[in-house]
Amino acid sequence: MSIRLSNIDARMNVFTTRKSLNEVLASLKEAKKSVGFVPTMGALHEGHLALVKRALSESDTVVVSIFVNPTQFNNMQDLDKYPRMLQADVDLLQTIGEVIVFAPTVEEVYPENDTYTPLDLEGIENVMEGEFRPGHFQGVVHVVRNLFQIVQPDQAYFGLKDFQQVAVIRLLTKKYNFPIQIIACPTLRETNGLAMSSRNLRLTEKEREDALIIIQTLKYIQSLKATKTPKEAKELAMEYFSNGKLRLEYLEIVNGANLKSLDNEWNEYTVVCLAAFCGAVRLIDNLELV
């Protein structure tokens, strides 16, 4: 990995150390250039690019980090299998505009003098993703806090594909008093409705077909909203989902503002969230109901 990194580092605009990134950012900030930031774990697809394009349209300079963060993986196999393709990512980014790529090592993101202590996330880290991936959100908070401290952007862009993550990011930004505007961007989907994800690379053609049950189930709940309570809709949707090939981890209908489950009444801001295994690959998706 270090050989690959140093090869790429020789090219313009790819930085692998805090120090080198800080040098370039310091001069940009001195020139009063605004900085937009898009944190990613790489294996970039159109969903990531949509965030970067938005950042490019709203900022003078855009930093894209590519870092597979070990602290947010509760399953080591998932971490090992996570796709890594830095060269292809850099090439892809170059097709949409001029961005600064930050591709640090673990030691750069987590220095020995790191002062992080777990943040009180007021319970939102214990439901849905948090319930099934213990420690995941503390790992997300840790990496985003460290990256925010390194990049010090004016605005940071996150995808609503990771709906619960956006709630966690908003909370950490508030708690640490980061003067950063958090911008949530819509989920990009394949034409058949499958939410784009780096993990889709690990799906076979057949599994990609099977995975459509996810968006179909989310849409089914939308269709039940006018006539059923959330509780009834959830029961029907679980039955519907069980006719497919995926193994459900959770299906929750929540108040989008506080992530609390809805039982008897729909909220003005209702989001349906789902996680399931398609073969060995864990997929998540969500839909805001209208």
Return the residues of window 31-90 that contact ligand AMP according to CB under 6 A.
40-41, 47-48, 50-51
Binding range to ligand AMP, per CB under 6 A, among 88-96, 99-107, 153-161, 243-251: 153-161
Q: State the minimum distance, in angstroms, from the CB of residue 248 to ligand AMP.
A: 20
- By C-beta, is 121 or 262 nearer to ligand AMP? 121
Asked if residue 188 binds ligand AMP (CB under 6 A), the reply is yes
Site string for ligand AMP, 194-213 (x = CB under 6 A): -xxxx---------------
Q: How far is the CB of 164 from ligand AMP (least distance, A)?
A: 10
Spot the catalytic one: 45, 48, 136, 142.
48
- Count of residues interacting with ligand AMP (CB under 6 A): 17
Which are the contacts of 239, defined by CB distance < 8 A and separation ≥ 6? none
Determine whether 136 is an active site residue. Answer: no
Q: Which of residues 140 and 224 has its CB atom nearest to ligand AMP in the complex?
A: 140
Among 173, 187, 200, 286, binds ligand AMP (CB under 6 A): 187
Question: Among 36, 130, 159, 230, which residue interacts with ligand AMP (rule: CB under 6 A)?
Answer: 159
Q: Are strands 14-15 and 181-185 parallel, antiparallel or unpaired?
A: unpaired
- Between 16 and 187, whose beta carbon lies closer to ligand AMP? 187
Residues at the interface with ligand AMP (CB under 6 A): 40-41, 47-48, 50-51, 158-159, 161-162, 185, 187-188, 195-198
Q: Active-site residues: which are they?
A: 48
